[in-house]
Structure 1
Amino acid sequence: MGKIPTTIPRRQLGRRLRDMRQEAGISIQDAARLIERGAGTLQRLEKGEANRIRMLDIQALCQIYDRMDELPGLLELAKVAASKDGEQGLWWNEYSDAIRDDFELYVRLEASASKLTVYQSEIIPGLVQTADYARTLGARYFSDTSSREIEQVVTVRLNRQRIITRRRNPVEVDLLLDENALRRVVGGPKVMAAALRRLADLPANVTIRVLPFSAGFPLGVACGPFVVLDFDRATGEPPTVYVEGYRGNLYYDRAEAVAQYRDTFRTLQAVASSPADSKQMLRRLAREYER
């Protein structure tokens, strides 16, 4: 899988600190006060999102939680998490201005995943968009930015797609698209035709199914888009659910939440068209857009 970003050790460190705090029965506000940090600073550390990891804070937290036996291992993990070596040569470092802060964590996790289970109800996901489709959406969403900046956004999306097209260990993707995403016109008929042909011609490691309008509402309610990310066991990273929102993104790694989203995907998948029928539908709709 190549170079692993420091995202995973950061999250491992954060989870262990969070578990130790909860086992000690100490609130995040009290723990932060005792180490003379803000609650937000400690929360970012526990989420694996801290920009800076202070070894003195790790030592102080172990003392507060009465877990000095954990200190040597946590310090080693913290050193790996704080290292810049794992980040050198990673493509997204060149495009930090084009990646929203709240989306950067997802890009890092996506690059480390071994499998992605994706449901999208409204648009074609960025991971499989064509450049023109991505450019049209970018021009709408980033309407106050320059064309050069929009091109950077497009480049980021295309670079993300390397994980499914690389020769060595491409990521396995189970993709479920609502028919809405195929019928909602983005960029005009020509753009849509190319986008759907791209979906129909995805490599074998990507399995695509279409949830047709005729399936109704299998869950009894409308369901928004989500991604379940799985990681190689050797990383120690638990499966994580990513839910993108208009005002912010959510991440769930608790077992019960992940299980609920897996069940949701299976329910939707059960009434979706087969991969073969889905590809036929994609090609048929592409021809319709080309007329």
Structure 2
Amino acid sequence: MTSDDEPSTLPRRQLGRFLREARDSRGLSMDRAAQLVELSKTALHRIETGGVKKLRIRDIGALCELYEVTPADTDRAIELAKQSQVASWYTAFGGLYSDTTFNMYVGLAAAARQLIAYHEIVLGLLQTGDYARCLITAFYHGSSNEDIERRVELRLKRQAIITRRADPVKLELLLHESALHRMVGGPHVMSAQLHHLAELGKLPNVSLRVQPFAAGCSRGLLHGPFVILEFGFDAKSRPIEPPLVYLEGSGKPDIYMENRDDVRRYHEIASLIRETALTEAKTRDLLRRVARSYTA
């Protein structure tokens, strides 16, 4: 785990994923890529897995040049390498790391083995196309239809980590009842979305439970949405990557908490929400009942 005076592991983990994907897209083996930039295979492997604490800018630049990365993405990759040396108890990333190439959360969620989320709107991984389109259109007001549709398509494609047959990500979603009544896109969109949730909740890797209004405030406060990401363990029972907490910025920089105490605190909050939530079966019944009310 990181401590208050240790650099965050997030920038180099994100950079490693980007470089690995860029190498794969060029069809280069790790051996060949390492040879062409005069690195050992071990050194390149450690860069791609986020294991190098002091990244050399010239190595990152050479790899980006080899992989024919665009100048803009090369600049972002180099900035990630520089950011990897910043000591912080949390990491805040705004627009630079929220584009489609360097989206920090998307990369982390794809690498995670388990997600524990509390949300007050439907989580992106479980949204229908129409529900997602309404939210994205409102957030990116003024964007072209082509841009909106591209973003919707990307969001729906990312849902494959939940629905794929081979080794899907385990998801526990604790959804506040307000999400069932907060109108997004009109009655028909809401009805279809809630029916969709009820069906997804039957997947073996998905646990979906609604926290009712009657539960009040967990720990007496409005803690807001969060996602706990866990990455599993290797053959020697060591964490593959340290767990973390993600707080979506919603227009402000996103927050990533790696500190052990922060992760434990959000696990405790999730446990309190879980204690007051409906069972999975009662949640599905409620979802279907509210869905029918929209089209009655």
Same fold (TM over 0.5): yes
Q: Which residue of 2 is the match for residue 106 of structure 1? A: 105
Residue 113 and residue 154 in structure 1: after superposition, are their counterparts in 2 closer, same or farther (change >3 A)? same
Take 1:200 and 1:45, find their aligned partners in 2: how far apart are those partners?
A: 37
Amino acid at match of 1:78: I
1:196-211 map, 5 Å: 196-202=194-200, 203-211=203-211
Q: Which residue of 1 is the match for residue 53 of structure 2? A: none
Residue 223 and residue 50 in structure 1: after superposition, are their counterparts in 2 closer, same or farther (change >3 A)? same
* Matched position secondary structure for 2:220: coil
CA offset at residue 236 of structure 1?
Answer: 2.1
- CA RMSD between the two structures: 3.1
Contact 1:163 1:171 in 2 (8 A): yes
1:174-185 map, 5 Å: 174-185=172-183
CA offset at residue 102 of structure 1?
Answer: 3.1
Contact 1:119 1:177 in 2 (8 A): yes
Q: Which residue of 1 is the match for residue 23 of structure 2? A: none
Amino acid at match of 2:295: E
Residue 132 and residue 183 in structure 1: after superposition, are their counterparts in 2 closer, same or farther (change >3 A)? same
**Percentage of pairs with the same residue:** 38
Amino acid at match of 1:220: G
Take 2:290 and 2:49, find their aligned partners in 1: how far apart are those partners?
A: 49
Q: Which residue of 2 is the match for residue 262 of structure 1? A: 267
CA offset at residue 204 of structure 1?
Answer: 2.3
* Matched position secondary structure for 2:253: coil
1:282 corresponds, among 282, 287, 291, to 287
Contact 1:102 1:248 in 2 (8 A): no
1:77 corresponds, among 46, 54, 58, to 46
* Matched position secondary structure for 1:233: coil
Contact 1:102 1:249 in 2 (8 A): no
Q: Kindly provide the CA deviation profile for residues 8-61 of structure 1, in whole angstroms up to 9, marking residues without a partner as x.
A: xxxxxxx8xx88x958xxxxxxxxxxxxxxxxxxx78873255999xxxxxxxx
CA offset at residue 216 of structure 1?
Answer: 1.2
Q: Which residue of 2 is the match for residue 191 of structure 1? A: 189
Amino acid at match of 1:102: Y
Gaps of 5+ in 2: 20-40, 51-59, 68-72, 74-93
1:75-224 map, 5 Å: 77-78=46-47, 101-103=96-98, 104-121=103-120, 123-202=121-200, 203-224=203-224
* Matched position secondary structure for 1:208: strand
Contact 1:44 1:50 in 2 (8 A): no
Q: Which residue of 2 is the match for residue 67 of structure 1? A: none
Amino acid at match of 1:228: I
CA offset at residue 78 of structure 1?
Answer: 2.3
Contact 1:228 1:240 in 2 (8 A): yes
Amino acid at match of 1:175: L
TM-score scaled by structure 1?
A: 0.70
CA offset at residue 157 of structure 1?
Answer: 1.0
* Matched position secondary structure for 1:285: helix
Moved more, 223-232 or 72-81: 72-81
Q: Kindly provide the CA deviation profile for residues 152-174 of structure 1, in whole angstroms up to 9, marking residues without a partner as x.
A: 11111101100111001111100
Take 1:262 and 1:188, find their aligned partners in 2: how far apart are those partners?
A: 34
Residue 236 and residue 127 in structure 1: after superposition, are their counterparts in 2 closer, same or farther (change >3 A)? same
Amino acid at match of 1:47: P
Take 2:108 and 2:10, find their aligned partners in 1: how far apart are those partners?
A: 16
TM-score scaled by structure 2?
A: 0.68
Residue 196 and residue 100 in structure 1: after superposition, are their counterparts in 2 closer, same or farther (change >3 A)? farther
CA offset at residue 221 of structure 1?
Answer: 0.9
Contact 1:219 1:268 in 2 (8 A): no
* Matched position secondary structure for 2:219: coil
CA offset at residue 100 of structure 1?
Answer: 5.7
CA offset at residue 223 of structure 1?
Answer: 1.6
CA offset at residue 275 of structure 1?
Answer: 0.6
Amino acid at match of 1:200: A
Say whether 1:238 aligns with 2:242: yes
Take 1:261 and 1:80, find their aligned partners in 2: how far apart are those partners?
A: 26
Residue 76 and residue 283 in structure 1: after superposition, are their counterparts in 2 closer, same or farther (change >3 A)? closer
* Matched position secondary structure for 2:125: helix
CA offset at residue 219 of structure 1?
Answer: 1.7
Q: Which residue of 2 is the match for residue 225 of structure 1? A: 225
Gaps of 5+ in 1: 1-14, 24-42, 54-71, 88-92, 94-98
Take 2:10 and 2:125, find their aligned partners in 1: how far apart are those partners?
A: 28
Contact 1:226 1:243 in 2 (8 A): yes
Take 1:76 and 1:214, find their aligned partners in 2: how far apart are those partners?
A: 51
